[in-house]
C-alpha cells in the first residue's frame, strides 16, 4: 500500500535541537546544535513508516525570534509545495514552542492551501532521554495525512493531542502537556491505532479567509498592554508614540483595566487607535459593556491577547471601520 505524501518544513526549535547529553533538558540551546528538516527526519527514521516525507529546509530560527517575515515566508512556501506536488496530502511545520500558537493562528488566518497544515514542536530536545520529539513528529505526519483533518484549518499536534490553532495555548514552561485548549478541549487524539477526531471548530479559517499577505511588506503595528494593579497608562502612551495603529488590552478578567490604563486607552481610541479588550485570564470571553462601548473599545471574544493582536493586525490590513473590525472578531 502506498503511503501518503507529506511535506515537512523545519524551522528549528526544541524538536530539532541536540543538547550536550541525554539529561540536558533545559539549556540545550546553548549547544547551538539544531537539525534541519532532512537531518531531523534522519534522526527519527520511524517517520518513514507513516508517510512519504518530503523534507523542506527553511532556516533554523529560535521561535522567540519568529515574526511576520517568517510567517509570510511560510504562507508562500505552503502554496509553493501544493503547486509543485498535486498529490500532497498535507504539510507539517516543525516549530519552537514559545511562539508556536501564534504562528499557527497567523497561518490559520492567511494560508491558502486546501491540505491540512499541522504545527509540531517538542518540550524535550531530540537528544534527551525520553524525548517527545520523535512521537510528536510521527503523529503530526499522521494527522496531516488524515482525510478527516481537511477543512479544520491549521492544527497543532503535541503530546498525542490535536488542537485547533485558534484555541490552543502554551500553559506550562516544562511539562509535556503544556499545550491546552482551555475553553473547549482537544479536537481529537493521535492514538496508536488511529487518528480520532471528536469535534470541529466553527469559526472561519484557512483557506477561506479574507486576508492576503502576499503583497504586504509589514503588518500594521499592534501592541499589547498587559494589565496589573496600579497600571498608570505609561505603556499605552509609549505604544501610541511608537506608532501603534491598534492596542490589545490584556485586562483583568472578565475584561477590565486599571483606571490609569483606561484613561490612556480611551484617549488613544479617541485619536483613532483601535483598542480591543482581551483578558489575561487565559480563558473565557470578554463582553462589551456600557463602559467599553462609550470609550469606543472593541472586544476580543475569547481570544487571548497574543492571538487578538494577530487578528487585529490582519483586520487593519483590510479595514479601519470599527463595525467591520468587530465583525472580523466575531467571524474568526
Q: Contact 87/103 with Cβ under 8 angstroms? A: no
**DSSP string over 18-84:** E-SSTT--SSGGGG-EE--HHHHHHHSGGGGGT-EEEEEE-----GGG--HHHHHHHHHHHHHHHHH
Residues in CB range of 238: below 8 A, 6 or more apart = none
Active site residues: 14
The CA distance from 53 to 136, in Å, is 15
To the nearest 10°, report the CA torsion of 164, 132, 15, 76. Answer: -30
Q: Which residues pair with 188 in a beta bridge?
A: 162, 197
Q: Is the dihedral of CA 74, 78, 83, 85 positive or negative?
A: positive
The CA distance from 127 to 132, in Å, is 10
Residue 283, judged by CB atoms within 10 A of its CB (0-12, 13-18, 19+), counts as: middle
Q: Contact 127/27 with Cβ under 8 angstroms? A: no
**Beta strand 155-158 pairing with 161-164:** antiparallel
Amino acid at each position: 500500500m502506498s503511503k501518503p505524501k507529506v511535506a515537512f518544513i523545519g524551522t528549528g526549535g526544541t524538536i530539532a535541537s541536540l543538547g550536550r547529553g541525554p539529561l540536558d533538558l533545559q539549556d540545550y540551546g546553548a549547544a547551538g546544535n539544531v537539525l534541519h528538516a532532512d537531518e531531523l527526519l534522519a534522526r527519527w527514521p520511524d517517520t518513514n513508516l507513516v508517510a512519504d516525507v518530503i523534507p523542506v529546509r527553511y532556516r533554523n530560527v529560535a521561535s522567540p525570534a519568529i515574526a511576520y517575515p517568517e510567517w509570510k515566508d511560510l504562507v508562500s512556501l505552503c502554496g509553493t509545495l501544493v503547486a509543485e506536488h498535486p498529490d500532497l496530502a498535507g504539510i507539517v511545520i516543525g516549530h519552537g514552542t514559545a511562539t508556536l500558537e501564534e504562528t499557527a493562528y497567523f497561518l490559520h488566518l492567511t494560508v491558502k492551501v486546501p491540505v491540512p497544515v499541522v504545527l509540531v514542536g517538542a518540550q524535550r530536545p531530540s537528544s534527551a532521554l525520553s524525548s517527545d520529539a520523535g512521537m510528536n513528529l510521527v503523529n503530526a505526519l499522521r494527522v496531516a495525512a488524515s482525510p478527516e483533518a481537511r477543512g479544520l484549518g491549521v492544527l497543532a499536534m503535541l503530546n498525542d493531542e490535536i488542537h485547533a490553532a485558534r484555541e490552543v495555548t502554551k500553559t506550562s514552561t516544562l511539562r509535556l502537556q503544556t499545550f491546552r485548549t482551555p475553553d473547549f478541549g482537544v479536537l481529537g487524539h493521535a492514538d496508536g491505532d488511529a487518528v480520532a477526531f471528536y469535534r470541529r471548530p466553527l469559526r472561519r479559517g484557512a483557506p477561506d479567509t479574507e486576508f492576503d499577505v502576499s503583497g504586504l511588506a509589514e503588518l500594521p503595528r499592534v501592541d499589547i498592554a498587559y494589565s496589573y494593579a496600579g497600571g498608570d497608562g505609561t505603556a499605552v502612551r509609549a505604544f501610541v508614540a511608537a506608532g501603534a495603529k491598534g492596542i490589545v488590552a490584556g485586562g483583568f478578567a472578565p475584561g477590565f483595566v486599571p483606571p490609569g490604563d483606561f484613561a490612556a486607552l480611551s484617549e488613544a481610541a479617541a485619536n483613532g487607535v483601535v483598542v480591543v479588550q482581551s483578558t489575561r485570564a487565559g480563558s473565557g470571553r470578554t463582553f462589551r459593556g456600557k463602559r467599553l462601548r462609550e470609550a469606543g473599545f472593541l472586544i476580543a471574544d475569547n481570544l487571548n491577547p497574543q492571538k487578538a493582536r494577530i487578528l487585529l493586525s490582519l483586520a487593519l490590513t483590510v479595514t479601519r471601520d470599527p463595525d467591520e473590525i468587530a465583525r472580523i472578531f466575531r467571524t474568526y
